[in-house]
Amino acid sequence: MIAPGTAQGIRTRTEREAVSAGLSVNVWRRVSQLVYDGVGIAVAVVMLFPIYWMVITAFKPGRDILTLQPKWFPAPFTLDNFKDAIARPFFLDDVRNSVIVVAVMLALALVVAFLAAVGTARFGFRGRTAFLVMIIGVQMVPLNALIIPLYMLLDSAGQIDALPGVIAIYLAVVLPFMIWTLRGFVANIPVELEESAMIDGCTRVGAFFRITFPLVGPGLVATAIFGFIQAWNEYIIAYVLLSSPNNQTLTVWLASFTTNHGPEWGPLMAAATLTGLPVVAFFLLLQRYLAGGLTAGAVKG
């Protein structure tokens, strides 16, 4: 018999309590895990619902869109809205314009940003800090405020209603972020790798292009995705600078959809789906390179 209060007695009692407490902690943990997961799923549903609603509206026939009792699934399924949207005037022109603007801008931006990234990551020079401060500073200036002088600047250069002006502005908008990000990637690659290649007989330029350039690949992809999204989604600059319908970009076309034709929700949602699709596709295609870029940074150590 063990008297309560002795060392042994205390131990058994605390053990017993610990077991029951452990059980309830376990149940409690399970319940709270379920609650957390439930709230998480609810958040995902709320965030995704508008996009879901756009896509299924795009696939519904007209009579199922304009109903007082909304249909949650596109039960009779149709592609008519997409055919209608594509057949609208200037759709194909404006797709072409968007592609040209984004492609030319990205090609230029990657080259220009890469040069500056190497310059600031690999070399010390007077004015480097000033340059980096400028890179951060200009990102704080709202583009909306600069529309008037940009309009006048391009007006005096005869570049209103022409794609080059828009390309130049987008280039300036995405450059600071791209330089900053790429600089980080270049700085993460040890110079010793290049130096050992030079000892093995590479020229300085050769070492750079054979060693550093491939390693910066994921960084180039990451910044390209950023630039693509920025330029493809931009609206106000294109709206102000490109006045004739066959010179506009896809977002301007999409925004003018309702005002020109009244709200025809089916074709509008189809057009919106088509406008959003390239960004999502581009992102998903290149996402694995993005993940690779993150691990590449970690391995280096």
Partner 1 sequence: MGLAITAPDQGPALYSRLRRRLFPYALITPSVAVIGGILAFPLGMLIWISLQHYGLRELINHQGEWVGLGNYQKILVDPLFHAVIVRSLAFTFTCVSLTVALSTLIALLLLKVRRAVRVLVMSALVFVWATPVVVTVDIWQWMFDYEFGIINYLLTQLHLGNFIHHNWFDNPVQGFAVIVAIVVWYSIPFVTITLFAALLQMPSDVEDAARVDGAGSWRRFWYITAPILKPIFLIVICLSTIWNFGIFNQIYILLNQRPSSDYFTIAIYSYRESFGVTQYGLGAAIAVVMVIVLVIVTLFYVRETVKVAEIS
Residues 214-273 that bind partner 1 (CB under 8 A): 229, 232-233, 235-236, 240, 251, 254-259, 263, 265, 268-269, 272-273
Nearby residues of 120 by Cβ (< 8 Å), 6 or more positions away? 128, 131, 132, 179, 183
Interface segment toward partner 1; rule CB under 8 A; list 8-16, 80-88, 114-122, 205-213 = 114-122
248-253 contacts: CB < 8 A, separation 24 or more? 248/90, 248/93, 248/94, 248/97, 249/94, 249/97, 249/98, 249/101, 249/166, 250/94, 250/95, 250/97, 250/98, 250/275, 251/98, 251/275, 252/94, 253/90, 253/91, 253/94
Q: Which of 226, 108, 112 is CA-nearest to residue 163?
A: 108
Residue with tokens 């480097």: 128
Task: Give the integer Cα–Cα distance in Å for 2 and 169.
Answer: 86
Instruction: Report the residue from 102, 110, 113, 242 that binds partner 1 according to the rule CB under 8 A.
Output: 113
Taking the least distance from each CB to partner 1, the nearer of 2 and 115 is: 115
Which amino acid belongs to residue 53?
A: W
Q: Does 119 bind partner 1 (CB under 8 A)?
A: yes
Instruction: Report the residue from 168, 186, 222, 224 that binds partner 1 according to the rule CB under 8 A.
Output: 168
Please work out the total of residues on this chain that contact partner 1, with binding judged by CB under 8 A: 87
Q: Does 95 bind partner 1 (CB under 8 A)?
A: no
Q: Which of 220, 202, 219 is CA-nearest to residue 211?
A: 202
- Per-residue x/- marks for partner 1, 22-41, CB under 8 A? ----------xx--xx-xxx
Q: Does 175 bind partner 1 (CB under 8 A)?
A: yes
Residue with tokens 């006045």: 243
Q: Does 115 bind partner 1 (CB under 8 A)?
A: yes
Q: Does 298 bind partner 1 (CB under 8 A)?
A: no
Please report, as residue ranges, which positions from 128 to 167 form the binding site for partner 1 (by CB under 8 A).
128, 131, 134-135, 138, 140-153, 155-156
Interface segment toward partner 1; rule CB under 8 A; list 19-27, 82-90, 127-135, 193-201 = 127-135
